[in-house]
């Protein structure tokens, strides 16, 4: 399954791109990109209560495997 498909079905929240040529070609740039993505994501949660984060996370996990029917 591709990263874009995983995001489309809700199994991941964000796709972090790799440097040109792939992560294995430029590990330092890969680390910089990962660090930036992680810091950006963590900033979104500043000020949010742990209890609220846990509720959202649990709801997301419990929704795995649920399907929505689409009418043609």
Radius of gyration of the chain (CA): 16
* pTM tops 0.75, yes or no: no
24-65 pLDDT, tens digit per residue, is 999 999 999 999 999 999 999 999 999 999 999 999 888 887
The three-point CA angle 50-12-71 to 5° equals 115
How far apart, in whole angstroms, are the C-alpha atoms of residue 21 and residue 42?
Answer: 27
Could you tell me the residue ranges of all domains in the chain? 3-63
Sign, Cα dihedral of 69, 71, 1, 28: negative
């Amino acid at each position: 399954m591709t990263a874009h498909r995983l995001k489309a079905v809700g199994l991941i929240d964000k796709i972090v791109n790799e440097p040109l040529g792939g992560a294995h070609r430029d590990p330092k740039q890969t680390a910089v990109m990962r660090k930036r993505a992680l810091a950006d994501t963590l900033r979104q949660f500043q000020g949010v209560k742990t209890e609220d984060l846990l509720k959202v996370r649990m709801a997301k996990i419990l929704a795995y495997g649920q399907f929505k029917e689409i009418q043609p």
